[in-house]
Amino acid sequence: KPLIFSGVQPTGNLHLGNYLGAIRKFVALQDTNECIYCVVDLHSLTAQLVHDDLQSQTRSITAAFLASGIDPKKHIVFNQARVLQHAELAWIFNCVARIGWMNRMTQFKDKAGKDRENASLGLLAYPSLMAADILLYRATHVPVGEDQKQHLELTRDIAQKFNNDFSARIADLDIGVEMQVGEETVNGYFPITEPIIGGPAARIMSLRDGSKKMSKSDPSDLSRINLTDDADTISKKIRKAKTDPAPLPSELDELKERPEAENLVGIYAGLADTTKEEVLRQFAGQQFSVFKPALADLAVDKLAPIAGEMRRLMADPGHIDAVLRDGGDRARAIAETTMKDVRDIIGLLGD
Ligand code: AQP
C-alpha cells in the first residue's frame, strides 16, 4: 500500500518554489493516499545551529501546510524533533552509508562552499537523517522538488544496503516483504522508495538569475516570492523579474536559451495547474509587458488566500502546537514499531 512521506525545513520564509515543487503536491496526494508530512527541524540545525526563532518558524511551516489544505486529522503532520526515533535511525544509517556517498552530494558541496573542513558534520550526514525520516515509516513515495533527487537516490542506496547486509537476519525474523528491485524480486525490510518529481514547477529558478534555484537562503528578497508576500510585493517582484526583450514564442524548444523567460512560463503553468506548452499557446507572440501582469494576477489569486489563512493560524500558536503534538504521538507509534524491528535485526538489546 503506498505511503507518502515528505518534509520541509524551518529555515526561513517558504517561497513559491517550496509551494509549487513540494507543498502543492502534498495536498494533491492526500486525497488518495495515506500521508505523513514533517517539519524537519533537526535538519535545519545542519547549516545553522543557532536560530533566532526556530519555534516560530516551525509553527509557520506547519501553518503553511494547513493553510495550503493539508488535513492533519486524516494525515499526520508533526515536527521531527518530537519523534526521537528519527535521530536513532539516522545514527544507524550513518553506519550503513559510506563517507564517499556523502562526499558526492551536490547539496553538501554547494552549502559547505570552499571551506568544507569547517562545515558541520551534520551537513555531511544530512542525507542519512533524510533517509531515516522516510524509512522510519517505510514510506513508498516521496514528493520533492528536483533538487532533492540525489538525496532520494541515496535513500534508496541505504535501504538496499541495509536489506542486503541483514538479509539473513530479516529472513530469520520473517519480517521482510517481497519487493521488485530492477529485474529482481528480493525480500527486504525497507522499501526502495520512489521519488515523485516532475511537472512544470519541479525546479523554480530565482527571479533574478535563471541559473540559480529559488531559495530561502538567497540574500536577495527580490529573487523569490514568499508565501506571505502581499499583493503589491508579489506584483513588484514579478515586474522586476529578469527577462529579455523578445516576445514569448509558440514552441517550448525556443525557450531553451532563455532560462528566465522559461522560469516565468513554468511558474504560470504551475500556478494554473497546466503545462508550459499550454501557457505558450495562450501567450505566444505577447511581450512581457502583457505576460507579467497576467502572471502577477494569477500569483496573487492563488497565494493571497494561503497567506491570509497562515496569518489566522499563526495568531493561535496553541492550536498549531496541538496539531504537532497529536501528529507527533501518531508518528511515534509507527516509528517505534519500525525501530523495534530494526533493533532486533541488528541485534541491539532493547525492550
Ligand atoms: N526552487 C525550487 N523549486 C522547486 N522545488 C523546490 N524546493 C525547494 N526549492 C525549490 C522543494 O521544497 C521542499 C522543501 O525544501 P527544504 O526547505 O526542505 O529544503 P531546500 O531544498 O534546501 O529549500 P530552499 O528553499 O532552497 O532552502 P535553503 O535556501 O535553506 O536551501 C523540497 O521538496 C525541495 O525540493
Ligand 1 centre to CA of 313 (Å) is 23
- Beta carbons within 10 angstroms of residue 6's beta carbon: 24
C-beta 217 within 6 A of ligand 1: yes
Is the per-residue pLDDT at 44 higher than 90? Answer: yes
Rg (Cα) of the chain, in Å, rounded? 21
Is the per-residue pLDDT at 182 higher than 90? Answer: no
Which of 109, 147, 223 to probe ligand 1 with, by most ligand atoms within 8 A of CB?
A: 147
Selection from 9, 4, 130 nearest residue 60 by Cα:
9
Instruction: Provide, rounded to the nearest whole percent, the portion of the chain with pLDDT above 90.
Output: 93
C-beta 21 within 6 A of ligand 1: yes
pTM of the shown model: 0.96
123, 151 in Cβ contact below 8 A?
Answer: no
CATH of domain 3-196+316-346: 3.40.50.620
Q: Whose CA is nearest to atom 18 of ligand 1?
A: 8
Per-residue pLDDT at 184: 87
Angle at 101 between CA 95 and CA 107, to 5 degrees: 115
Taking the C-alpha atoms of residue 233 and residue 16, their distance in angstroms, rounded to an integer, is 13
Taking the C-alpha atoms of residue 152 and residue 159, their distance in angstroms, rounded to an integer, is 11
Ligand 1 centre to CA of 18 (Å) is 5
Q: Whose CA is nearest to atom 35 of ligand 1?
A: 145
C-beta 216 within 6 A of ligand 1: yes
Q: How high is the mean pLDDT of the chain?
A: 96
Beta bridge partners of 188: 177
The predicted model gives 31-43 an average pLDDT of 97
Cell numbers given for 23: 507543498
- Eight-class DSSP state of 226: B
Q: Whose CA is nearest to atom 21 of ligand 1?
A: 147
Is the per-residue pLDDT at 351 higher than 80? Answer: no
- Eight-class DSSP state of 15: B
Cα dihedral: 339, 340, 342, 343 (round 10): 110
Candidate list 149, 216, 236, 242, residue with the active-site label: 216
The predicted model gives 109-116 an average pLDDT of 93
**Catalytic annotation present for 340:** no
Over residues 312-346, the pLDDT tens digits come to: 999 999 999 999 999 999 999 999 999 999 999 99
Cite the DSSP H helix spans in the chain.
16-18, 24-29, 41-44, 54-68, 85-96, 99-103, 106-112, 121-135, 149-165, 167-173, 231-240, 259-272, 276-283, 288-314, 317-346
C-beta 147 within 6 A of ligand 1: yes
Is the per-residue pLDDT at 186 higher than 90? Answer: no
The predicted model gives 247-256 an average pLDDT of 94
Ligand 1 centre to CA of 151 (Å) is 12
Candidate list 111, 236, 242, 340, residue with the active-site label: 111
Say which residue the cell 516532475 belongs to.
Answer: 198
- Eight-class DSSP state of 203: S
What is 221-313's CATH superfamily? Answer: Tyrosyl-Transfer RNA Synthetase (1.10.240.10)
DSSP one-letter string for 127-170: HHHHHHHHHTTT-SEEE--GGGHHHHHHHHHHHHHHHHHTHHHH
Per-residue pLDDT at 38: 98
**Catalytic annotation present for 213:** yes
Please give the C-alpha separations between residue 128 and each of 48, 101, 261, 339, in angstroms, as whole numbers: 18, 10, 36, 16
**Contacts (Cβ under 8 Å, ≥6 apart) of 203:** 17, 21, 145, 146, 147, 213
Taking the C-alpha atoms of residue 349 and residue 351, their distance in angstroms, rounded to an integer, is 7
**Catalytic annotation present for 25:** no
The residue ranges of every structural domain in the chain are: 3-196+316-346, 221-313
Say which residue the cell 550526514 belongs to.
Answer: 125
